[in-house]
Amino acid sequence: MNNISVIIGTQWGDEGKGKIVDLLSENADYVVRFHGGNNAGHTVIVGGKKYPFHLIPAGILQPKAVGVIGNGVLIDLEVLSSEIKMLQDEGMDLKKKLIISDRCHLILPYHKALDLAYENARGKNKLGTTGRGIGPAFADKVSYNGIRIHELMDWNLFIEKFKFQAKIKNEILKTFDVALIKIDEELKKIADLRKIILPFVGDTFVATQKAINEKKNILLEGAHGVMLDIDFSPYPFSTGSNVITGAVNTGAGIPVQKVSEVIGVVKAYTSRVGGGPVPTELEGSLADELREKGGEYGTTTGRARRVGWLDLEAVKFACQISGATHIVITKIDVLSGFEKIKVCVEYQLPSSVIPTSSSVIARSETTKQSNKISYSSCGYKELARVIPIYKEFSGWKEDIMDIKKFNDLPKNCQDYIKFIEKFLEVPIKIISTGPAREEYITPTP
């Protein structure tokens, strides 16, 4: 049987998936992105060198792995071409190493302009998007106004479609009173970029079906995290795509029953970029310390991330909905030196709160009887009001980055890790103890 593994972020993204993807790609024949766009960022450190990825699967750095960008991924031509260049400058011959689905939709300049215009217009209610045009590009996709990457092959038709869309978008941009798209200038840029990208565009379904039939190993590289899933996040504090396991079917054409392993990546604490409720968020000096130690600044936007304690109520939901067969715990080293470490094990609503979101009204049986509320029953308003119930752990002082055996970890660190595994009821596959490829522990049962 071939091994088809899916990597899913179980929090708000930035769980440290890049390193795990790189690590697990060692035996992969194909590494596949299946959703999102260049709002995602995966950083891989190999031989002391940092490789930031936004579109190309991070697993491509492994010599054997072929990178596939599935149809569910939105493509910004400029970002993709600079990633192609980064790898070619390293001497990588991408001809047989990269395939981009011809069905991918494009993020075009007007999508980015609209994303920013909507955000500015929202004022104090802004969502904190990455500004990469994700929402507007997905909106065009589902309203049949999108332009797909294969359309770059028929240049005259592309020009016609681009002009039609850009003119409409300029009308909308006018209402926001912002700069309009310079249509001919943008077309000139796209004309150059298409030459770089078209050689890699093909039918990825054929490639992945062949791989499945030939019993090859496939690693599906999730981006973002379940708490940003367009359906299962506290909407509208969401990203535009489905993040959960089912998206491998819609976003890469891989039948779900072929998946043999779902790996949920759990960062040892929480971080969030952008707006929206984060029940375990910390403030003040503790937050600053965690942010600095964890280097919690966005790979994509450079923004300082909001940070907090691990929220197992939310992560449990993420593991359940994505069918996690294993978890990977990342950045445990960042917690070294904290005197006390807390973990959220339950949410409670203050008794004064009357649930208002439709999801809560539909499932209000539990809330009638007690103040306990599950993550899945929370709309964004409830999530903003929940009281996290914590379990407190004593910390450890030792630097654990060089430790290679679970039993050599400080006792308090072992207890913390064992608690997570027991609470989630999902076995741990890997514990990551530092940013570099070799810094990890495989726990023995």
> Which residues are annotated as catalytic?
14, 42
For ligand IMP, which residue of 6, 8, 114, 134 counts as binding (CB under 6 A)? 134
For ligand IMP, which residue of 24, 40, 113, 318 counts as binding (CB under 6 A)? 40
CA atoms of 73 and 69, how far apart (whole Å): 7
Residue 132 C-beta: closest distance to ligand IMP, Å: 5
Q: Does 52 bind ligand IMP (CB under 6 A)?
A: no
Residue 180 C-beta: closest distance to ligand IMP, Å: 22
For ligand IMP, which residue of 28, 68, 84, 223 counts as binding (CB under 6 A)? 223
- The token pair at 318 is 């993420």
Q: Does 234 bind ligand IMP (CB under 6 A)?
A: no
Residue 258 C-beta: closest distance to ligand IMP, Å: 26
The 10 Å Cβ neighbour count of residue 279 is: 21
Residue 277 C-beta: closest distance to ligand IMP, Å: 11
Q: Does 43 bind ligand IMP (CB under 6 A)?
A: no
Instruction: Report how many helices (DSSP H) and strands (DSSP E) the chain contains, helices first.
Output: 14, 18
At which residue do the structure tokens 């929090």 appear?
11
Q: Does 130 bind ligand IMP (CB under 6 A)?
A: yes
What are the φ/ψ torsions at residue 44 (nearest 5 degrees)? -120, 135
Residue 274 C-beta: closest distance to ligand IMP, Å: 2
Partner residues linked to 51 by β-bridges: 44
CA atoms of 354 and 95, how far apart (whole Å): 58
Restricted to residues 54-83, the positions that interact with ligand IMP (CB under 6 A) are none
Q: Does 33 bind ligand IMP (CB under 6 A)?
A: no
The dihedral through the CA atoms of 140, 33, 244, 434 has a sign that is negative
Q: Does 331 bind ligand IMP (CB under 6 A)?
A: no
The 10 Å Cβ neighbour count of residue 303 is: 13
What are the φ/ψ torsions at residue 234 (nearest 5 degrees)? -75, 75
Rounded to whole angstroms, what are the CA distances from 271 to 5, 10, 134, 268, 437? Answer: 25, 11, 21, 10, 22
For ligand IMP, which residue of 19, 105, 141, 224 counts as binding (CB under 6 A)? 224
Q: Which residues bind ligand IMP (CB under 6 A)?
A: 12-14, 39-41, 127-130, 132, 134-135, 223-224, 228, 239-240, 273-274
